[in-house]
């Protein structure tokens, strides 16, 4: 195919279910490419020599090689490249903010062009590899004799586990909850990332020899020191996540019907509360729901509230749409599903009824002032602009802070002033042989950045072990 | 999967389960709890660890059949399996050495104060235990407490056994009778803990309450177990479950505990329908 022919192909659209249908259930919104669409889209790649997309990817996926195989319908070859660089491609293909990473730097996206839909293609090939069994490794590497403990079965921990297992190390992943996946399982709803995908990706890691041990809370059930001195591990990778939810400290915050996004989403995603009473865990549902925040978690929470039956599901965010940290696709999907956006609004008080339940949220209007430390224009209160949104459910999705549970029982781990674990460029902590990554080292970030940390730390752990 | 090693009925609606959980048994200290999930569709519920046997790798749970999950747990016997047991969670109890302590338990609260009493005794404190219930059958663990305490007083609201009156009435009499107490530990229904706190407040006796808010993950991640203590929001699972009883907002705790009452009733009705209405009590 000539360059000119490639340039003529328009970006293929991801097929998705109609908004009015999907807003009433938890089935996946995006339907995925078929082979024809995938091949066509892959042919749009110009196979640039300097391939900026590779550097744009936190796990350094060899995008051009992957797309070259796919463009010629060599799915096996594409899957081999994909799985070599990315331990969880069916997940990243669904939840990565590609528009800020690989696709942002894609040469096809320069000027008024559209970048190659790398994320959608990653998803297509990963799903094919899973369904066809091509992802199952044929042989295991020779055992190195080293054992590594991974704390937390989220994106950083699972990625590190996969990388370490492929290098022949014995890997045990300790998970505090009863099922692996971390934020992928408790945080991201079924309609964006089906649990079956997580299960399949974890099974593939287990095929590589990774052992996942649920219900073990490192820092309580076992300490880091016990892992190293009594349990026969030669190194540890800590990836236990961000942890504690941040609340706004508003009056009325402890009323019934006020949740952190973590609790609301955990009840639904991890515990299946959307199927109550078939599942035992309940969740408060409401005709009118308000979610506070502008990130992907806020989008997930408000779209979930909608699916649980909220006729009015409102998102309250204190800045404007331009500053919203959520992915463009998620914002678009939320709007299509009828979510009401109250931008430049900030809650000041949650109102309750005499039975202790939420009955509304009082907000003030904001306007954007001078840029603050984050470079974004600082929202400033418009005096006297108070107004109330009536609602029976409030979810605060404004972020998390460091979980102290592991760090307080491992006093020799150096922390930064905000309680996150300090690591060097290789991911090593102040404790020899103990590495850390993901949210507990960098603060709340994305799935793919956590995976990048896991990959980097696995390489560093491998080097550290072999050095002796 | 965790195997039930032994199961004993200790009151008409209370069951004592000995469960195989070697890692938990090894690490557990007084005041800590586990999160238990019965089966694949089960909820995660926090249960205090009433005792441990690290050599055999067992923990003890004392469970009152109240809602669907606890009723189902109370139906289990030796050899049955529990899907998930995670712990020990929460901060261990702060144990005072060489002091005069009272441990006050209402109903299954007795299971919370039992390991605390044992730890206090181990630390050479003098320990008086008050274990109370509405009627004689609801007074729990009197014998077990007597093994680790200097004195045990059983209390019944209806006067059918032991001291006639609530544990708060009994504690009031002890204090009025000149019993010098340095510290009081209490666990049980919220109104009872609040009554104990109000009783010790004027005497400035340090009082620790083991709180039982609704909880999901038990590791600080969800914030569902938040309680107001001295005007500050604290998470019972990582900051507690024990707090200064004089600073706890018991009214708010009580209110938050009622959040799922209608769902709990629905779940129980369904469970009863499926089980032929035999099982409001085990």
- Give how far the C-alpha of residue A84 lies from the chain's centroid of Cα atoms, to the nearest Å: 21
Alpha-carbon gap, residue A430 to A424, rounded angstroms: 8
Looking at the complex, does the CB of residue A438 fall below 8 Å from at least one CB of chain B? no
Q: Are A103 and A109 in contact (CB under 8 A)?
A: yes
Chain A: residue nearest B226 by CA?
A254
Looking at the complex, does the CB of residue A271 fall below 8 Å from at least one CB of chain B? yes
Alpha-carbon gap, residue A164 to A430, rounded angstroms: 21
CB contact under 8 A, B86 and A221: yes
- The string of DSSP codes covering A254-271 is TSBTEEEHHHHHIIIIIT
Q: What are phi and psi of A21, to 5 degrees?
A: -80, -50
For B:72-91, CB contacts with A below 8 A are 83-89
Q: Are A133 and A430 in contact (CB under 8 A)?
A: no
Looking at the complex, does the CB of residue B23 fall below 8 Å from at least one CB of chain A? yes
Q: Are A170 and A148 in contact (CB under 8 A)?
A: yes
List the beta bridge partners of residue A371: A377
Give tens-digit pLDDT for A16-47. Answer: 999 999 999 999 999 999 999 999 999 999 98
Chain A: residue nearest B255 by CA?
A356
Could you report the predicted ipTM of this complex, rounded to two decimals? 0.94
- Which residue in the block uniquely carries the two structure tokens 């931008």? A343
Interface mutation target, options A219, A221, A243, chain B, most CBs of B under 10 Å: A221
Which residues in chain A touch residue B84, judged by CB atoms under 8 angstroms apart? 178, 214-215
Alpha-carbon gap, residue B193 to B173, rounded angstroms: 17
- Which residue in the block uniquely carries the two structure tokens 């802070």? A401
Distant-in-sequence, close-in-space partners of A65: CB < 8 Å, separation ≥ 6 = A81
Chain B: residue nearest A178 by CA?
B84
The sign of the CA dihedral A349, A354, A360, A365 is: negative
Residue A150 three-state SS: strand
Looking at the complex, does the CB of residue B256 fall below 8 Å from at least one CB of chain A? yes
For A:356-385, CB contacts with B below 8 A are 356
Alpha-carbon gap, residue A77 to A79, rounded angstroms: 5
Looking at the complex, does the CB of residue B37 fall below 8 Å from at least one CB of chain A? yes
Give tens-digit pLDDT for B186-216. Answer: 999 999 999 999 999 999 999 999 999 999 9
Give tens-digit pLDDT for B3-24. Answer: 999 999 999 999 999 999 999 9
pLDDT of residue B3: 96
Which residues in chain B touch residue A180, judged by CB atoms under 8 angstroms apart? none
Distance between start and end Cα atoms, chain B: 23
Q: Is the pLDDT of residue A290 over 90?
A: yes
Distant-in-sequence, close-in-space partners of A199: CB < 8 Å, separation ≥ 6 = none
B44's enclosing H/E stretch is strand B44-48
Write down the pTM of the prediction: 0.94
CB contact under 8 A, A220 and B217: no
Q: Do β-strands B33-37 and B100-106 pair in parallel, antiparallel, or remain unpaired?
A: unpaired
Which residues in chain B touch residue A260, judged by CB atoms under 8 angstroms apart? 222-224
pLDDT of residue B277: 53
Please give the torsion angle defined by the CA atoms of residues A315, A319, A325 and A329, in that order, rounded to the nearest 10 degrees: 50
CB contact under 8 A, B223 and A244: yes
Distance between start and end Cα atoms, chain A: 51
Written as six digits, the tokens of A305 are 């509230």
- If you average pLDDT over residues B96-122, what whole number do you get? 97
Alpha-carbon gap, residue B254 to A107, rounded angstroms: 60
- A-to-B residue pairs, Cβ atoms closer than 8 angstroms: 118
Written as six digits, the tokens of A450 are 């956590």
Looking at the complex, does the CB of residue B221 fall below 8 Å from at least one CB of chain A? yes
User: Could you say which of B84, B224, B270 has the minimum Cβ distance to residue A277?
Assistant: B270
Alpha-carbon gap, residue A465 to A141, rounded angstroms: 16
Written as six digits, the tokens of A10 are 């328009």
User: Could you say which of A214, A282, A405 has the minimum Cβ distance to residue B238?
Assistant: A405
Written as six digits, the tokens of A69 are 């195989």
Looking at the complex, does the CB of residue A180 fall below 8 Å from at least one CB of chain B? no
Best CA proximity match to B51, nearest among B97, B5, B13, B84: B5
Residue B182 three-state SS: coil
- Closest CA–CA distance from residue A405 to any residue of chain B (Å): 7
User: Could you say which of A220, A245, A266 has the minimum Cβ distance to residue B87?
Assistant: A220
Of the pLDDT bands very low, low, confident and very high (cuts 50, 70, 90), residue A291 is very high
B167's enclosing H/E stretch is helix B167-176
CB contact under 8 A, A221 and B27: yes
Give tens-digit pLDDT for A160-204. Answer: 999 999 999 999 999 999 999 999 999 999 999 999 999 999 998
């Amino acid at each position: 195919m000539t360059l000119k022919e490639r340039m003529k192909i328009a970006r293929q659209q991801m097929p998705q279910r109609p908004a009015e249908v999907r807003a009433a259930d938890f089935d996946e919104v995006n339907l995925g490419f078929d082979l024809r669409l995938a091949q066509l889209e892959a042919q749009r790649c110009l196979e640039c020599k300097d391939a900026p997309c590779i550097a744009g990817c936190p796990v350094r996926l060899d995008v051009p090689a992957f797309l070259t195989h796919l463009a010629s319908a060599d799915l096996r070859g594409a899957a081999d490249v994909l799985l070599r660089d990315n331990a969880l491609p069916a997940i990243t293909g669904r939840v990565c903010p590609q528009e800020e990473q690989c696709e942002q730097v894609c040469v096809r996206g320069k000027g008024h062009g559209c970048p190659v839909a790398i994320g959608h293609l990653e998803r297509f090939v990963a799903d094919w590899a899973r369904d066809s069994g091509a992802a199952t490794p044929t042989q295991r590497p020779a055992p190195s004799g080293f054992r590594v403990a991974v704390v937390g079965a989220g994106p950083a921990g699972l990625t590190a586990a996969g990388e370490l297992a492929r290098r022949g190390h014995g890997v045990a992943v300790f998970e505090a909850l009863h099922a692996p996946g971390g934020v992928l399982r408790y945080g991201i709803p079924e309609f964006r990332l089906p649990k079956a995908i997580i299960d399949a990706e974890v099974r593939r890691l287990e095929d590589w020899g990774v052992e996942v041990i649920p219900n073990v809370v490192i820092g309580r059930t076992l300490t880091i020191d016990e892992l190293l001195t009594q349990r026969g591990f030669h190194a540890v990778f800590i990836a236990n996540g961000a942890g504690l939810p941040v609340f706004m400290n508003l009056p009325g915050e402890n009323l019934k019907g006020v949740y952190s996004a973590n609790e609301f989403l955990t009840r639904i995603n991890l515990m299946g509360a959307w199927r109550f009473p078939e599942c035992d865990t309940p969740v408060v549902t409401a005709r009118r729901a308000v979610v506070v925040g502008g990130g992907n978690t806020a989008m997930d929470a408000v779209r979930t509230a909608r699916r649980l039956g909220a006729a009015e599901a409102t998102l309250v965010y204190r800045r404007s749409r331009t500053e919203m940290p959520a992915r463009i696709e998620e914002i678009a999907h939320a709007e299509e599903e009828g979510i009401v956006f109250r931008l430049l609004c900030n809650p000041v008080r949650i109102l309750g009824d005499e039975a202790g339940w939420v009955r509304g949220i009082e907000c003030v209007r904001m306007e954007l002032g001078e840029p603050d430390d984050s470079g974004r224009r600082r929202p400033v209160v418009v005096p006297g602009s108070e107004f109330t949104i009536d609602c029976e459910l409030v979810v605060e999705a404004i972020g998390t802070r460091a979980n102290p549970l592991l760090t307080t029982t491992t006093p020799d781990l150096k922390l930064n002033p905000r309680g996150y674990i300090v690591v060097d460029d290789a991911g090593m902590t102040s404790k020899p042989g103990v590495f850390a990554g993901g949210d507990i080292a960098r603060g709340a970030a994305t799935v793919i950045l956590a995976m990048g940390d896991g990959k980097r730390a696995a390489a560093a752990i491998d080097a550290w072990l072999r050095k002796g | 999967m965790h195997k039930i090693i032994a199961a004993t009925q200790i009151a008409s609606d209370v069951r004592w389960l000995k469960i195989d959980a070697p890692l938990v048994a090894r690490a557990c200290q007084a005041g800590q709890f586990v999160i238990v999930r019965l089966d694949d569709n089960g909820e995660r519920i926090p249960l205090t660890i009433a005792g441990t046997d690290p050599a055999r790798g067992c923990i003890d749970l004392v469970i009152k059949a109240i809602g669907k999950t606890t009723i189902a747990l109370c139906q289990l016997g030796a050899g049955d399996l529990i899907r998930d047991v995670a712990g020990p969670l929460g901060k261990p109890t702060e144990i005072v050495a060489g002091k005069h302590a009272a441990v006050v338990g209402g109903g299954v609260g007795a299971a919370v104060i039992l390991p605390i009493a044992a730890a206090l005794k181990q630390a050479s404190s003098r320990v008086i235990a008050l274990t109370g219930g509405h009627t004689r059958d609801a007074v729990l663990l009197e014998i077990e407490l007597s093994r680790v305490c200097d004195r045990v007083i059983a209390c019944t609201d209806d006067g059918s056994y032991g001291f006639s009156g609530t544990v708060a009435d009994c504690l009031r009499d002890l204090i009025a009778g000149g019993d010098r107490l340095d510290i009081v530990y209490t666990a049980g229904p919220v109104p009872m803990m609040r009554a104990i706190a109000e009783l010790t407040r004027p005497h400035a006796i340090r009082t620790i309450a083991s709180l039982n808010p609704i909880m999901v993950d038990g590791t600080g991640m969800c914030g569902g177990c938040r309680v107001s203590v001295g005007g500050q929001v604290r998470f019972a699972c990582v900051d507690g479950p024990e707090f200064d009883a004089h600073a706890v907002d018991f009214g708010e705790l009580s209110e938050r505990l009622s959040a799922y009452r209608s769902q709990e009733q629905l779940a129980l009705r369904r469970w009863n329908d499926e089980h032929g209405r035999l099982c409001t009590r085990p």
